[in-house]
Amino acid sequence: MTQEKLITSAWSLAVLVLFLLLWEYVPAWLGVPQFVLPPFSQVMSEGARIWGAERLLWHAGITAAEVVIGFILGSALGAVIGYALGVSPRVEAILSPYLLALQIAPKVAFAPLFVMWLGYTIYPKILVAVLIVFFPVLINVLSAMRAMDADLINLARSFSATRFQVFRMVEFPTTLPPLFSGLRIASTLAVIGVVVGELVGGNMGLGYLLVFFEGQGNTSGVFVVIGALTVIGILAYYAVVLAEQRVLHYLVNAQRPGA
């Protein structure tokens, strides 16, 4: 690690420490009741209790599994349809009004419908995540296909490349950076989709715990669940970043966001 990165990491850690100190002491100085904004130490104490008494790790595992499945299915579906629409302008013209209507419709509104169809299982949560993840990936891929350099395609065709060869050797590699940009966004949205599904109807997962603690008026417990959800989102995001660095290793670091 270079000296510049060490300095950046030190400043980032200092900001975190300052934030936690402010959280611990400032609310009490301002006279804010603990049931409104509990100090950080109380949240940590409640987190230790929830870990054992409420099976926090088990619920976090359920939510994480739903996030991973929803992210994979939604991203794959968005990428496939994005490439299909990019390859065939006629198909895009036919399907774009319906895709636009589905995009405009609020995704969270589908959660109660999925619960009515599939019951209080993991499937409604995964479907909501798929629906939310689908569009960022689709839009990024389709936009990249539309902005494709026509000269590269014509050059490949001049060497008698088939349509599949043009896609495999020119279009697909060129659109990988925008694809991963969409995957970064989708990785965080997957967490939102799953939590919405769990809030609407669920008996397990962090969304269920969130509703449970809210009903008890347990503000510290709510903060613990929010922290666990944040950790899952961060892990999902950096998993995509790591995959991007592996796949797009040929890019110059300065051209790769987040490097």
CATH number at residue 245: 1.10.3720.10
pLDDT at 161 over 60: yes
Residue 240 has pLDDT above 90, yes or no: yes
Instruction: Flag whether 92 is in a domain.
Output: yes
Q: How far apart are CA 47 and CA 43, in angstroms?
A: 6
The verdict on residue 127 lying in a domain is: yes
Q: Report the pLDDT averaged over residues 169-196.
A: 92
For 82, the domain range is: 49-255
Q: Average pLDDT in the 186-203 region?
A: 90
Whether the CB-CB separation of 188 and 237 falls below 8 Å is answered with yes
If one counts the domains in the chain, the total is: 1
Asked if the structure places residue 168 within a domain, the reply is yes
> Does residue 186 form part of some domain?
yes
Task: Please give the pLDDT value at position 97.
Answer: 85
20 in any annotated domain: no
The span from the first CA to the last CA of the chain, in angstroms, equals 13
For residue 256, what pLDDT is reported? 44
What is the rounded CA–CA span in Å between residue 60 and residue 226? Answer: 11
The answer to whether residue 27 sits within a structural domain is no
Per-residue pLDDT tens over the stretch 105-154:
888 888 888 888 888 888 999 999 999 999 999 999 999 988 887 778 88
pLDDT digits (tens, 9 = 90+) for 25-35: 998 898 888 88
